[in-house]
Homo-oligomer: A and B are copies of this chain.
Amino acid sequence: MDGRPGLRERKKQRTHAAISEAAVTLFLEHGFNQVSVAQVAEAAEVSKRTLFAYFPAKEDLVVHRLADHETESARVVRARPHRTAPLTALREHFLKGLRERDPITGLNDHPQILKLARMILDTPSLVARMQRFKAGAERALAQALRETADTPELTARLAAVQIVAVQWSLAQDNTERVTYGEPADERYPGAVADAEHAFALLENGLRHPPQRP
């Protein structure tokens, strides 16, 4: 019944944060592959062994921040208003992400986030680690579709992989443009149009694609 999680717990959280922060700072300054985990451990004033007790692999020092997003689509589908189609809820949620410049949509150009995004996209092992989240997102979304929309097994899995792939593609495109120098505010209208086009494609199929390029 205590509001505070105890000293031990708090210390763990601080250590976790300290390691993560030291890592990102060093990576942003010198590059992911140019910094060894030993250097990160030293900067965080922690032994290498302890670092690996908090993060299972070097890549997780960077991508653990994205772990929350793994189940985001599934949560949106579960929490959708009554009588609303899953795809509608997902589209509205994605558009809201664009409006709010949620980094997950790729439409955030704060220098720190931008540099981090570029680093991830330029580092194959980090991209590979991100794919795991994608796979997790597919599984979670498929389950949500099955449980809340009575979607049959196969259809749920297929719909999930399509939806996740499309969202990922949209985000990656935005990230690519923004890290290439296009301001987020300038990209915004195009990003909205692209997202609407993409969700229309998902809804209506590839046979009769909408006019818009």
- By a beta-carbon cutoff of 8 Å, the part of chain A in contact with chain B is 85, 87, 124, 128, 131-132, 151-155, 157-159, 161-166, 168-169, 173, 194, 197-198, 201-207, 209, 213
Q: How far is the CB of A117 from chain B (nearest CB, A)?
A: 17
Q: A165-B165, A169-B158 are in contact. Are A202 and B194 (CB under 8 A)?
A: no
Query: CB distance B169 to A157 under 8 Å?
Result: yes
Contacts of A151 in B (CB 8 A): 209
Q: A153-B213, A169-B158, A213-B155 are in contact. Are A204 and B205 (CB under 8 A)?
A: yes
Q: How far is the CB of A40 from chain B (nearest CB, A)?
A: 22
Q: How far is the CB of A57 from chain B (nearest CB, A)?
A: 10
Which 8 A-B residue pairs are closest in the complex by CB-CB distance? A205-B205, A152-B213, A161-B165, A165-B165, A204-B205, A128-B128, A203-B207, A131-B131
Contacts of A165 in B (CB 8 A): 161-162, 164-165
Query: CB distance B207 to A204 under 8 Å?
Result: yes
Contacts of A201 in B (CB 8 A): 155, 158-159, 162, 205
Q: A131-B128, A207-B87 are in contact. Are A161 and B166 (CB under 8 A)?
A: yes
Contact of A194 among B128, B154, B162, B213 (CB under 8 A): B154
Contacts of A203 in B (CB 8 A): 205-207
List 14 interface pairs A-B (beta carbons < 8 Å), by A numbering. A87-B206, A87-B207, A154-B194, A154-B197, A155-B197, A157-B169, A157-B173, A158-B169, A161-B169, A162-B165, A164-B165, A201-B205, A203-B206, A204-B205
